[in-house]
Amino acid sequence: MESIETMAEQLKLLGDRTRLTMLALLQRREWCVCEFVEVFDISQPGVSQHIRKMRAGGLVREERRGQWVYYSLNIADKPHIQALLQALPDPNELLRAMGKTKLEAVCGPNSGSCC
């Protein structure tokens, strides 16, 4: 079990709407930075800062595949984070609320675009 200090730091990370939404979206599948840029309409460096903080907090992991880096949840040992994410709206509902309608991957070797 994680210490109360670690749990508090992880929960502080989720006090930011963008990071909380990113984690909610990561429940469905892995995402690339360029996809988050498109969904949140913020710069790539801005998205990267959010991801960096969540990686440092142990909430996400990255996997490099060629020139692409994909991010996924790293919460199997964090029941406090799992419980919080279960209370959030469905990722598709979040996307619709943001005016986005698709949830398909746009990155990868066959897409011709990405980071």
Within 13 Å of residue 22, how many CA atoms lie on the same side as its CB? 36
pLDDT digits (tens, 9 = 90+) for 54-108: 999 999 999 998 888 999 999 999 999 999 999 999 999 999 999 987 655 556 6
SS3 89: coil
Per the model's pLDDT, the better-predicted residue between 2 and 21 turns out to be 21
Residues 6+ apart with CB under 8 A from 40: 18, 21, 46, 47, 98
**Is 41 within 8 Å of 114 (Cβ atoms)?**
no
pLDDT for 100: 86
pLDDT for 102: 62
Pairing of strands 68-73, 60-65: antiparallel
Q: Is the pTM of this model over 0.75?
A: yes
pLDDT for 115: 54
pLDDT digits (tens, 9 = 90+) for 20-62: 999 999 999 999 999 999 999 999 999 999 999 999 999 999 9
The C-alpha angle 89, 80, 6, rounded to 5 degrees, equals 125
Distance CA 59, CA 44 (A): 19
Per the model's pLDDT, the better-predicted residue between 93 and 112 turns out to be 93
Estimate the share of the chain in helix, then strand, then coil, as percent rounded to the nearest 5.
Answer: 50, 10, 40
Can you name the CATH fold of 4-95?
Answer: Arc Repressor Mutant, subunit A (1.10.10)
